């Protein structure tokens, strides 16, 4: 019986969603396998990891470019290796404990922190497990690049070519896209979903999201949308931010729009299907899901670093408009809803979609395991 350990990180929801999508496909392909998914940054796994995550999230509110600082520190060939190795050494003892507990034949990582620790442990202890990494970005960065990784799965051909230029073996590099849940391809038609939400026929629906952490200026966006005279349905996902949810609900009660509010929910795909436009921060998984659903995006406030690159990717491919600081949100939304650009953006989004990424990755992982056997 094969044993598979999937390691993710609860820093935002994208890494977890990618892990869940692949786990679902692996269970379908390998029904007898023992598959365990672990949040590498959870308190029950490591108080040190958990504290590092909580400190980072708390600091992010005061220093929005904190990730950019780390991103740049880990970007140089020498400095990057130094920063990466420091994190890997700190986290290796926890990785060693997990490997001893689960005895995996395969370790799959959807975040660079567990990847680095698994790579270092494999090299230092001559561990025999296969190691694979799903890169949840639309740009290549040193933070993901480690030796002793059997397979890298990435979003674009440009990323693959970049890794080849870094000296990575061609046979370790695959470009399936970023994995999303298979349920996206099974969604009911838009009209049925809108009726279920009691959205009046012909009334535009706008979805506001800020990721699982409820970031991204949702309150200010909601205030800006009040300037639009025509009545909208505004679907708001506040994530795990309970205080934000309460404030948004108060705003909803006073709005002239139809405003529906959710906290952290597993119904995001349902809401995305109902929407005509998504206003969000450019997280890679959110963008990937919108591509599959053909949902046009208005992107804003990227966390400097990978989210900026995600925004560039989506806008360059015609699936999104990037709202820069001091640009008028209400004016941009009004222009999109009144014109005919949403249809073209929807087609562009679908052309970027990789709905079969998760099944493709699972198939390749199965081959890796069988070759090991």
pLDDT digits (tens, 9 = 90+) for 238-258: 877 778 888 888 998 899 999
Q: How far is CA 113 from CA 83, 91, 104, 144, 229, in A?
A: 11, 8, 18, 9, 47
CA distance 208 to 42: 27
pLDDT at 74 over 70: no
The predicted-structure confidence for 26-57, as pLDDT tens digits, reads as follows 999 999 999 999 999 888 888 888 877 776 66
What per-residue confidence (pLDDT) applies to 218? 85
Q: What are the E-state strand segments in the chain?
A: 3-8, 34-39, 106-109, 130-134, 151-153, 173-174, 205-209, 233-237, 258-262, 277-280, 297-299, 320-322
The residue that leads in pLDDT, 79 or 66, is 66
pLDDT higher at 287 or 82: 287
How does pLDDT run across 337-353, given as a tens digit for each residue?
988 899 999 999 999 99
**pLDDT tens digit sequence for 205-214:** 999 987 545 4
pLDDT bin (cut points 50, 70, 90) of residue 294 is very high
For the whole model, what pTM was predicted?
0.90
Mean pLDDT of 161-171: 95
Percent of all residues in the chain with a pLDDT value above 90, rounded to a whole number: 65
- pLDDT tens for each residue of 128-152: 999 999 999 999 988 899 999 999 9
Give the pLDDT score at 29: 96
Using the predicted structure, report yes or no on whether residue 73 has a pLDDT greater than 60: no
CA angle 360, 361, 366 (to 5 degrees): 100
Q: Where are the domains of the chain?
A: 3-180+355-372, 185-352
106 versus 10: which is more confidently predicted?
106
* pLDDT tier for residue 63 given thresholds of 50, 70 and 90: low
3-180+355-372 and 185-352: identical CATH topology: yes
Confidence at 60, pLDDT banded by 50, 70, 90:
low
Tens of pLDDT along 301-338?
887 778 889 999 999 999 999 998 888 999 999 999 98
**Mean per-residue pLDDT for 205-230?**
82
The answer regarding whether domain 3-180+355-372 maps to CATH 3.40.50.2000 reads: yes
Residue 319 has a pLDDT of 97
Which of 7-16, 73-82, 168-177 tops mean pLDDT? 168-177
pLDDT of 141: 86
Work out the percent of the chain whose per-residue pLDDT is above 70: 91
Region of 216 (left: φ > 0; alpha: ψ -120 to 50; beta: rest) is left
Mean pLDDT of 108-119: 95
> How many degrees, rounded to 5, is the angle at CA 340 between CA 338 and CA 344?
140
More confident residue, 358 or 212: 358
Residues facing residue 133 across a β-bridge = 109, 152
Report the distance separating Cα 160 and Cα 140, nearest Å. Answer: 8
Residue with more model confidence, 305 or 272: 272
What pLDDT band is residue 264 in, cutting at 50, 70 and 90?
Answer: confident
CATH topology of domain 185-352: Rossmann fold (3.40.50)
Cα separation, 303 vs 220, whole angstroms: 17
Confidence band of 62 (pLDDT split at 50, 70, 90)? low
Say what the pLDDT of residue 272 is.
Answer: 96
Look at residue 80 and tell me whether its pLDDT is greater than 90. no
């Amino acid at each position: 019986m094969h044993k598979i350990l999937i390691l993710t990180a609860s820093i935002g929801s994208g890494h977890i969603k990618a892990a869940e999508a692949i786990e679902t496909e692996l269970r379908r392909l390998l029904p007898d396998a023992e598959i365990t998914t672990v949040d590498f940054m959870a308190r029950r796994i490591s108080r040190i990891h958990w504290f590092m995550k909580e400190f980072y999230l708390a600091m992010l509110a005061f220093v929005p470019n904190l990730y950019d600082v780390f991103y740049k520190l880990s970007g140089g060939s020498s400095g990057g290796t130094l920063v990466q190795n420091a994190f890997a050494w700190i986290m290796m003892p926890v990785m060693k404990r997990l490997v001893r507990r689960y005895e995996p034949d395969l370790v799959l990582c959807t975040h660079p922190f567990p990847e680095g620790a698994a790579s270092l442990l494999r090299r230092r202890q001559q561990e025999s497990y296969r190691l694979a990494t799903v890169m949840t970005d639309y740009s290549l960065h040193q933070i993901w690049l480690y030796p002793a990784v059997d397979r890298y799965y990435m979003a674009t051909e440009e990323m693959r070519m970049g890794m080849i230029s870094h000296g990575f073996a061609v046979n370790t590099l695959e470009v399936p896209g970023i994995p999303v849940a298979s349920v996206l391809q099974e969604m009911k038609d838009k009209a049925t979903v809108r009726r279920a939400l009691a959205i009046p026929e012909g009334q535009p629906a706008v979805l506001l999201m800020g990721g699982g952490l409820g970031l991204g200026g949702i309150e200010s966006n909601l205030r800006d949308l009040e300037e639009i005279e025509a009545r909208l349905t505004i679907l708001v996902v506040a994530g795990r931010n309970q205080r934000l949810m309460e404030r948004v609900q108060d705003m909803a009660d006073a709005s002239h729009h139809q405003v529906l509010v959710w906290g952290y929910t597993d119904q995001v795909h349902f809401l995305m299907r109902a929407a005509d436009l998504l206003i969000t921060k450019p997280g890679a998984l959110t963008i990937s899901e919108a591509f599959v659903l053909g949902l046009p995006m208005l992107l804003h406030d990227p966390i400097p670093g990978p989210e900026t690159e995600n925004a560039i990717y989506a806008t360059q491919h015609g699936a999104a408009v990037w709202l820069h600081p001091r640009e008028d949100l209400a004016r941009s939304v009004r222009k999109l809803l009144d014109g005919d650009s949403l249809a073209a953006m929807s087609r562009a989004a679908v052309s970027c979609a990789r709905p079969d990424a998760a099944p493709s990755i699972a198939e390749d992982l199965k081959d890796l395991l069988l070759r090991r056997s």
